[in-house]
Amino acid sequence: MRIIKIIFWLGIVSVLAKGVFDLGKKNYFLNQRLQRLQTQLEEIETENRQLKDRIVYFSHLENLIKEVKSKFNYLKPGEKLIVLPEQD
């Protein structure tokens, strides 16, 4: 009878140990995923701030004109363009 009790308790302990191990393993993988998602969130928030800053910048007409001139060599009538060669 004593052996049956020992086997029963060993069975219970082994089932509980496996459950604890499985929960620990699942917890580890969920923490890894959480860290990756937090990193992605930080990157997206940084990009979002940069985009908002650009929206504010381009909402001022003088900045928009300056960017159009520099990117597309746009000139207002009567303006002249001076190109300076790059120095080493």
pLDDT in tens, the chain (88 residues): 899 998 999 999 999 999 999 999 999 999 999 999 999 999 999 999 999 999 999 999 999 988 888 888 778 888 887 778 888 7
54 in a domain, yes or no? Answer: yes
Would the pTM count as exceeding 0.75?
A: no
Total domains in the fold of the chain = 1
Supply the DSSP symbol for 59: T
78 in a domain, yes or no? Answer: no
87 in a domain, yes or no? Answer: no
- Calpha distance 57→66 (Å, rounded): 11
* Confidence at residue 76, expressed as pLDDT on a 0 to 100 scale: 80
36 in a domain, yes or no? Answer: yes
85 in a domain, yes or no? Answer: no
Give me the domain span that covers residue 15.
2-72
Cα→Cα distances 8→34, 40, 56, 66, Å = 39, 48, 71, 81
81 in a domain, yes or no? Answer: no
